[in-house]
Amino acid sequence: MPQLIAGNWKMFGRLAEVAPYAAALRAGAPAHVELLVCPPFTLLDRFAAALAGGPARLGGQDCHPAPEGPHTGDIAAPMLAEAGARYVILGHSERRANHGETNAIVHAKAQAAIAAGLIPIVCVGETEDEREAGEAEAVVRGQLMHSLPPGFAGVVAYEPVWAIGTGRTPTEADVTAMHAAIRAALRAQLGASGAGLRILYGGSVKPGNAASLLALPEVGGALVGGASLKAEDFLAIARAAPRG
């Protein structure tokens, strides 16, 4: 399975940026990875048209557990699918921290995404205090246990909270150890299917460190934040992924 290089635009981006960005992906996307762009909801329709028939897929940044209803400001998984999304990011640390999302909420959202035909990317990761207390792996195992629904067949993204947007990254040994722990937890939780799920690394991924991070054992791609906003940086990260 190819590595997945996913770009999370967060609350950035304007309509004028869509066409040149999509054109750059069409011209420069490497064939040995799967590219994914997750822009703000306002850009989904424009991106769907611009990326149609090209090498990159489209994703949303969140969805509500319900398929519809009186939920002002939210978006339902079927709406994302109708807009052209194939993936959806769920449980990002910024959602967990800024919107009080619990593992139970992430679990319900993952179920809703799957029911709508979307592939959920469920994010897990520890805070700096949790890592310093020696609780990092236990925290992540707990998030997996309570966030992934039975038979989960999506993607997991490990993002150490303290590395997101800070320019700091864990050591390669830390990333390797956590991805191994996540793989073991997935096997224990999901059985044989847990052995094949992609585990992305996220947290200050950029062109300068992408090759070393993407080459580590059990790293199946990257969830890229700020560096995904510039097509040339995003493509440089994608090209850094190992072949074969």
Catalytic residues: 92, 159
CA distances 194 to 117, 173, 184, 187, 243, Å, are 19, 22, 8, 4, 23
Backbone angles phi, psi at 155, to 5 degrees: -130, 145
Quote the distance between the C-alpha of residue 159 and its chain's center: 9
Q: For every residue of 86-128, which 3-state class applies, written as one string?
A: CEEEECCHHHHHHCCCCHHHHHHHHHHHHHCCCEEEEEECCCH
DSSP class of 54: S
Cβ neighbour number for residue 209 with a 10 Å cutoff:
16
Rg, C-alpha atoms of the chain: 17
Burial (CB count <10 Å: 0-12, 13-18, 19+), residue 104: exposed
Distance separating alpha carbons of residues 151 and 179, to the nearest angstrom: 20
Sign of CA dihedral 120, 139, 242, 203: positive
